[in-house]
Chain A
Amino acid sequence: MDEYLALFPYTAAAARYVEASGRTFDSLMTAGEFSDSVLNKSVQRVAQAIDSDVHSKPLERDDDEIELFSYVMGRALVSCIRESVLVQRYANAEAHDAFTKLRNAGERLQDEYIARMLGDLGIPISADDNIFQLHFTDLIKYTGRLRGPQWRLVNRLNRGQVRLAKNEMIQVLAEAVRLKVLHGLPLKLSSKMCEELVPYTSPLRKAMSAVSLRPADSGPVSLEACPPCMKALLSQVKAGQNLSHPARFALTSFLANIGMKTEEIVHVYQTSPDFDYELTRYQVDHIKGASGKDYIPPGCSTMETYGNCTETIGLCKRISHPLSYYRARLKHQ
């Protein structure tokens, strides 16, 4: 078996191999040395995703086929656990894994892997002497979460193209992996299949609650720990200024997500010149999810676009979401 498939099991080539192998869910659930190793390894894969701060050390390499099929079963486990935060962690972990493998490969292999992955993930590119040139539309799909001025189109675009150095190309590929894994999950599996997987998913569920992989519903609200952008919006409201629609949405959804109650949020807006109790209450309720949909506050890049970002230094430089700022500050209080 081609080692590439084991290293990068989310590629189209790997999917073709799995299909052609004739191995099925049932055959992997049938006891035997191979399926035991696969299941064991897939649990490790998911456990590492749950646990990892992405800095933990990589899992030991198994036989190529075990590597590949443990990815397949790992997806099944994540799908049966059905927690969106796990799906995200799993995608992050696979992306990090791809990044490490690409970066640590020897030069000849590295070039080969990069070329194959670009083709496999459908990223059209013209490469020349370790410079990778992409059309901007192909790049911005993957750079949304990457921080730092070098990833902003504004600093890179030249006649519709962006030229990347090899180390940058690897980062973009890892993002492409993350999105591919993320968008492929959860799989639609029958409840019967998930029942059979319970012996493997239940310890994973336990592990999840141990690291509290759930949205923060923790403790009292601390306005002190709010990021500068939210503090600025709060003081604008206090000063009796009307907020723009995007700003109001950002502030309300932020306050709701750090655990403020509807009444408390409505109270914040009381000093607005256009304050209307019923309307404000309705809006806050809507954003808080009375309508069945929870809104997450906008990330840093959106705040920036609408002119609501006030700071890009210090802690702000290291986070990409106002909520991450808040959580980080809470941790260190």
Chain B
Amino acid sequence: MNPETKGFLQRKFGDYYRKAPVGFPPQFQKREWAFVLFDSSYPKLVMRRHKAFGSQKEVRAYLGAVAPAHVYHSTACYAYPSATRMQDKKWEGADLIFDLDADKLLTKSVSSYAGMLQEVKDETTKLLDFLMNDFGFDEKDFSIVFSGGRGYHVHLREKKLVTLGSHERREIVNYLTGTGLEAEYLLKRSSKTAMPQDISCWEIRIKTWIDEYFKRIRGLDAKIAISELASVKAIGKRRAKEIVSTLSQDASVQPLVESKLIPLNAWKSLIREAISHLKVRIDVPVTADIKRLIRLPTSLHGGSGLRVTPLTLDRFRRFAPLNDAVVFGDSSVSVRILTPATTEIMGETIKVDQSTTELPEHTAVYLMARGLAEYESRRLKSD
């Protein structure tokens, strides 16, 4: 990234910070702030840490004047947020954070940025369902934030949560990732548990998944159904045929469960299959870390120019990052393309290559921030 491009991005970011209302985390005076600037080492990330601010005005003035590429605050509150050694800061509690990041969770390669964002959004939807259903949180207990890059952050600040230590947070992580769920234990337990309120939400999820699995099998052509069932460990072709015929006679899965048609090992592998589909692929160390830095919601992401966007549950459901997180307009900007690419900003698919010289500002900022283009100042010619 050349100095002109950095200068351009910094000007644009500065314009944004001087006009846009910046959001503040609760108790922002007790948090450490950190910044990456558009300086000579950028895009190498040199973090300027251990800043603290006493008033919102100070923060706004700093952001407007410095126009950083990245803005972070600590998830923790400290008695002395600006102390330079962590042990001197005096930790007082920390938000519970979940990070869903495409880099960490994509199993298959998704070709486009937009496709990748959709997959992360689906995973975030799963997380929110766990938080509301299994953990009993209410919509007002969490805030959802588009990270401006490749995913979403979910912040929880409920009083009972902020004092949890790393160990306890890992227990929550293990829940979401299904770590420690053992098929054998679940089977043993479900045969003993008498009271329905003693069944865990995970058990209910697994049971529902298995019900739906068999419903789907029943809907398939017999031949395909048999071959799919036979591929489950310990079922085999002969049993698969019997199961398919049982399923065709009865609309519910219950008789199948009660019959001895499906051997124990097959149940186990179905349960494991269910867990791998149902678990949430969060970035584990982020949640377990009680002294983490996280992007300031409402700031700009220097690697994309997109806004780190706080969302209500309702807005999250309708959220389209490449529309709704765009803050720049469409006035024309001169660029030099370094790497050909396709962008899909503001519903407009643009293919850029070396012949492209002018782009709408939002797309130009995006490509420059990603290092795919440089800024070209329009020179006056005298000949």
- Chain A residues engaging chain B, CB cutoff 8 angstroms: 135-138, 140-141, 143-144, 149, 152-161, 163, 246, 301-302, 304-307
Cβ contacts A to B, 11 pairs, < 8 Å = A135-B160, A137-B161, A154-B178, A154-B181, A161-B136, A163-B198, A246-B285, A305-B170, A305-B173, A305-B174, A305-B284
Contact residues in A for B181 (Cβ distance below 8 Å) = 154-155
The answer to whether B202 touches A157 (Cβ under 8 A) is yes
0/1 interface trace, chain B 134-154, chain A, CB 8 Å (1 if under): 111100000000000000000
Determine which residue in A149, A152, A154, A302 has the highest number of CB atoms from chain B within 10 A of its CB, and name it: A154
The answer to whether B167 touches A301 (Cβ under 8 A) is yes
Determine which residue in A135, A144, A157, A302 has the highest number of CB atoms from chain B within 10 A of its CB, and name it: A157
Nearest-CB distance from A252 to chain B (Å)?
17
Bound: A301/B179 CA distance, A: 10
The answer to whether A155 touches B172 (Cβ under 8 A) is no
Residue of A nearest to B161 (CB): A137
Contact residues in B for A157 (Cβ distance below 8 Å) = 134-135, 175, 200-202
The answer to whether A160 touches B170 (Cβ under 8 A) is no
Determine which residue in A138, A140, A163, A302 has the highest number of CB atoms from chain B within 10 A of its CB, and name it: A140
Contact residues in A for B172 (Cβ distance below 8 Å) = 140, 153
The answer to whether B284 touches A158 (Cβ under 8 A) is no
Known: A135-B160, A140-B172, A161-B136. A149 touches B180 (CB 8 A): yes
The answer to whether B197 touches A302 (Cβ under 8 A) is no
Contact residues in B for A156 (Cβ distance below 8 Å) = 200
Contact residues in B for A143 (Cβ distance below 8 Å) = 171
Contact residues in B for A144 (Cβ distance below 8 Å) = 167-168, 171
Contact residues in B for A159 (Cβ distance below 8 Å) = 133-136, 201
Contact residues in B for A307 (Cβ distance below 8 Å) = 179
Bound: A302/B174 CA distance, A: 10
Partner of B136, one of A152, A160, A304, A305: A160
Contact residues in A for B173 (Cβ distance below 8 Å) = 305
Q: Is B220 part of the contact surface with A, judged by Cβ < 8 Å?
A: no
Partner of A158, one of B161, B199, B288: B199
Nearest-CB distance from B280 to chain A (Å)?
12
Residue of B nearest to A306 (CB): B284
Contact residues in A for B198 (Cβ distance below 8 Å) = 158, 163
Contact residues in B for A152 (Cβ distance below 8 Å) = 171, 174, 180
Bound: A161/B136 CA distance, A: 8
Q: Which of B165-209 contact A (CB under 8 A)?
A: 167-168, 170-175, 178-182, 185-186, 189, 197-202
Residue of B nearest to A135 (CB): B160
Nearest-CB distance from B27 to chain A (Å)?
20
Residue of A nearest to B135 (CB): A160
Contact residues in B for A301 (Cβ distance below 8 Å) = 167, 170-171, 174
Nearest-CB distance from A111 to chain B (Å)?
20
The answer to whether A153 touches B174 (Cβ under 8 A) is yes
Q: Is B164 part of the contact surface with A, judged by Cβ < 8 Å?
A: yes
Q: Which of B280-323 contact A (CB under 8 A)?
A: 284-285, 288
Besides A137-B161, A157-B134, 16 more A-B contacts (Cβ < 8 Å) are: A135-B160, A138-B160, A140-B168, A140-B172, A141-B164, A141-B168, A154-B180, A155-B180, A155-B186, A155-B202, A157-B202, A158-B200, A159-B133, A160-B137, A163-B197, A304-B180
Contact residues in A for B135 (Cβ distance below 8 Å) = 136, 157, 159-160
Contact residues in A for B160 (Cβ distance below 8 Å) = 135, 137-138
Contact residues in A for B164 (Cβ distance below 8 Å) = 137, 140-141
Bound: A156/B168 CA distance, A: 15
Partner of A155, one of B133, B136, B200, B285: B200
Bound: A302/B168 CA distance, A: 11
Nearest-CB distance from A145 to chain B (Å)?
9
Contact residues in B for A304 (Cβ distance below 8 Å) = 174, 179-180
The answer to whether A154 touches B200 (Cβ under 8 A) is yes
Nearest-CB distance from B183 to chain A (Å)?
11
Bound: A135/B161 CA distance, A: 11
Residue of A nearest to B136 (CB): A160
Bound: A152/B174 CA distance, A: 9
Nearest-CB distance from A139 to chain B (Å)?
9
Bound: A153/B179 CA distance, A: 10
